[in-house]
């Protein structure tokens, strides 16, 4: 049974924005009440929150699909739709949020830190918000846009001041249980610890956190044993404590060889750019289990060799509680010196607001197709406008054409080589496809037509008087030609001579 998870893929879906409302105020003695359709509500966001009370990602391992609330639809009488409820997901402090390709989005190392992983969709405008002096009663409203939907990867990296490293069953869990209030699982078989355990230690005036991480074996940097699941939780620690078992009964093992294997694995593990390599951080050696007579003798034997290598060595016994006070105060001094030497928090940069009017809001990409070139329009605005359009409403389609023309889409299509009838696609993938007709120009505000219709899209156009007169003369000429041909055929059958046209 899985009890701890430090990496999980979340499938998130933000809330969809509510549609705007089409409504006209109808009240006795007020025949021209005007539009009163309200806006739809915005969709809810999915927010990740760094929570000190959360220590594992296990809940997201069992339930990886999470969704926020949708926005409510707008209603008549200027009643706006309800806002979609945000979904807050607590994650442990030290969680790294990545996209599926591995790019880091945010590192949540501070308690209370918030990150909007999936922004909700926008609510659509009602016809009251779309009205203007020239379009007094719009017969359409904008649809709500869908919220962001996709995957994010959560990777937990323990945040602690001191990490206890060593072989399995070296006594790391017993040590953290003795010097802090942590209660890890302790047993007499390897790999008892399957997930990091955090404990808070008070040494005089200094308080620091200690992490007990899964046991390390040879080849861990290549994934053996718990491998990377262990080493990932050592990245953020200030100091390392090598816990060496002086009472092991395994053949070929002794404190010096164990330390050599641990150092080799720590040196082979690549830390993220900008962090200090693991072997360059302060290190302390702890000779554990000296309550066993043979272990005490072995500790006294190897201590000079360890000190000759430059390590501070402590002989301890978690059972007899020997040497623990000296060890905790020494670790407290290391942590305090590191905190004093750490650079002060940099001044937060000033927020500079730059206008985006000069930036291009869309691009036109020419793609080859089976039946000719396809002109694909990419950009946040055009894609959002298409999502907001009700294509069952002619007036809404005309409004979309006006917006695209004012944005400069038609001019850019001309520059790209598009001609009337060319295939135009807005958005990536299988998006909305149009047969481009540049004759649809921006004049919707000046066109008088019933609500919900646009004469520019009406293909059943009435004929003018000149056109009717020309069609009448064409029919009369065709009838005269048919009569002349029939008369000529009749004379030929009777053998009568043809009439002299003179």
- HEC letters along 9-40: EEEEECCCCCCCCCCECCECCECCCCECCCCC
Return the percentage of the chain with pLDDT > 70, whole number: 82
Q: What pairs with residue 46 in β-bridges?
A: 87, 118
**The dihedral sign for the CA sequence 169, 175, 176, 181:** positive
Contacts of 335 by beta carbon, 8 Å cutoff, 6+ apart: 161, 162, 206, 208, 238, 239
Tracing tokens 């069953």 back to the chain, one arrives at 169
pLDDT of 494 reads 79
| Edge-first strand listing for the sheet containing 283-288 | 197-203, 206-212, 162-165, 239-245, 283-288, 312-315
User: pLDDT at residue 495 above 90?
Assistant: no
Task: List residues forming the annotated binding site for Mg(2+).
Answer: 173, 193
pLDDT category, 462, cuts 50, 70, 90? Answer: low
pLDDT tens, residue by residue, 62-114:
899 999 999 999 999 899 999 999 999 999 888 889 999 988 888 888 888 89
Mean of all residue pLDDT scores within the chain = 81
State the pairing for strand pair 65-67/7-13: parallel
At 279-333, the pLDDT tens digits run 888 889 888 888 888 888 888 888 888 888 888 888 888 888 888 888 889 988 9
* For residue 411, pLDDT beyond 90: no
CB-based contacts of 156: which residues, under 8 Å, 6+ apart?
6, 7, 56, 57, 91, 92, 94, 95, 96, 232, 233
Structure confidence at residue 22 as a pLDDT band (50, 70, 90): very high
Q: Name the one residue in this structure whose structure tokens are 């905790």.
A: 328
Annotated binding-site positions for GTP: 166-173, 191-195, 212-215, 288-291, 317-319
SS3 45: coil
142-195 pLDDT per residue, tens: 999 999 999 999 988 776 788 888 887 777 778 888 887 766 545 444 444 455
Three-state DSSP state, 481? helix
- Give me the pLDDT at residue 184, please: 53
DSSP string, 166-215: -STTSSHHHHHHHHSS------SSTT---S-EEEEEEETTEEEEEEE---
Indicate if the pLDDT at residue 39 is higher than 60. Answer: yes
Cβ-Cβ contacts under 8 Å for 359 (sequence gap 6 or more): none
Evaluate if residue 406 carries a pLDDT over 70. yes
The pTM of the full predicted model, rounded to 2 decimals, is: 0.68
Q: How far is CA 250 from CA 159, 167, 193, 302, in A?
A: 33, 12, 19, 17
109-156 residue pLDDT tens: 888 889 999 999 999 999 999 998 888 888 899 999 999 999 999 988
Task: Report whether 52 contacts 24 (CB < 8 A).
Answer: no
Q: Per the structure block, which two tokens stand in for 476?
A: 């009369």
CA dist 175 and 321 (Å) reads 9
- Strand, coil or helix: what is 316? coil
- Pairing assessment for the beta strands 95-98 and 104-108 based on DSSP bridges: antiparallel
Q: Give CA torsion, residues 365, 368, 369, 373, to 10 deg.
A: 60
* Percent of the chain at pLDDT exceeding 90: 22
Residue the block writes with tokens 């000719």: 372
Which residue ranges make up the annotated binding site? 166-173, 191-195, 212-215, 288-291, 317-319
Q: Is the pLDDT at 447 greater than 70, yes or no? A: no
For residues 237-250, b (16+ Cβ closer than 10 Å) or e, as one string? bbbbbbbbbbbbee
The answer to whether 37 and 126 have CB atoms below 8 angstroms apart is yes
Q: Which residues make beta-bridge pairs with 242?
A: 165, 285
Between 215 and 49, residue with greater pLDDT: 49
């Amino acid at each position: 049974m899985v009890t701890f998870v430090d990496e999980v893929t979340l499938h998130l879906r933000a809330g969809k924005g509510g549609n705007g409302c089409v409504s006209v105020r109808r009240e006795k003695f007020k025949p021209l009440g005007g539009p009163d359709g309200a806006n739809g509500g915005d969709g809810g966001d999915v927010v990740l929150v760094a929570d000190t009370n959360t220590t594992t990602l296990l809940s997201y391992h069992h339930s990886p699909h999470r969704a926020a609330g949708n926005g409510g639809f707008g209603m008549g009488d200027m009643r706006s739709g309800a806002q979609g409820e945000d979904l807050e997901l607590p994650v442990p402090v030290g969680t790294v949020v990545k996209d599926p390709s591995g790019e880091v989005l945010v590192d949540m190392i501070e308690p209370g830190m918030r990150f909007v992983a999936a922004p909700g969709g926008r609510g659509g405008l009602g016809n009251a918000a779309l009205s203007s002096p020239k379009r007094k009663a719009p017969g359409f409203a904008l649809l709500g846009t869908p919220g962001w939907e996709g995957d994010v990867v959560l990777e937990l990296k323990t945040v602690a001041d001191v990490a206890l490293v060593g072989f399995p069953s070296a006594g790391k869990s017993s040590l953290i249980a003795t010097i802090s209030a942590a209660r890890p699982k302790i047993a007499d078989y390897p790999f008892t610890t399957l997930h990091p355990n955090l404990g808070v230690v008070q040494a005089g005036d200094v308080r620091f956190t200690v992490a007990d991480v899964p046991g390390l074996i040879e080849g861990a940097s290549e994934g053996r044993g718990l491998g990377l699941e262990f080493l990932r939780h050592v990245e953020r620690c200030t100091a390392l404590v090598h816990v060496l078992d002086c009472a092991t009964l395994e053949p070929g093992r002794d404190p010096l060889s164990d330390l050599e294997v641990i150092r080799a694995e720590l040196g082979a593990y690549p830390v993220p750019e900008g962090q200090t390599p693991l072997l360059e951080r302060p290190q302390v050696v702890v000779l554990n289990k000296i309550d066993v007579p043979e272990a005490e003798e072995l500790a006294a034997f190897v201590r000079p060799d360890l000190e000759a290598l430059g390590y501070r060595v402590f002989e301890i016994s978690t059972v007899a509680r020997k040497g623990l006070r000296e060890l905790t105060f020494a670790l407290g001094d290391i942590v305090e010196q590191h905190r004093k030497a750490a650079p002060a928090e940099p001044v937060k940069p000033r927020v500079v607001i730059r206008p985006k009017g000069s930036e291009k809001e869309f691009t036109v990409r020419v793609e080859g197709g089976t039946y000719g070139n396809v002109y694909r329009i990419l950009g946040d605005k055009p894609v959002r406008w298409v999502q907001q359009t009700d294509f069952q409403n002619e007036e809404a389609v005309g409004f979309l054409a006006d917006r695209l023309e004012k944005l400069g889409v038609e001019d850019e299509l001309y520059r790209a080589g598009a001609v009337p009838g060319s295939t135009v696609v807005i958005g990536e993938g299988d998006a909305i496809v149009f047969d481009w007709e540049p004759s649809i120009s921006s004049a919707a505000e000046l066109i008088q037509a019933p609500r919900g219709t646009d004469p520019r899209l009406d293909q059943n156009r009435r004929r003018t008087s000149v056109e009717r007169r020309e069609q009448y003369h064409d029919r009369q000429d065709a009838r005269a030609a048919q009569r002349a041909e029939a008369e000529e055929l009749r004379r030929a059958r009777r053998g009568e001579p043809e009439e002299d046209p003179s």
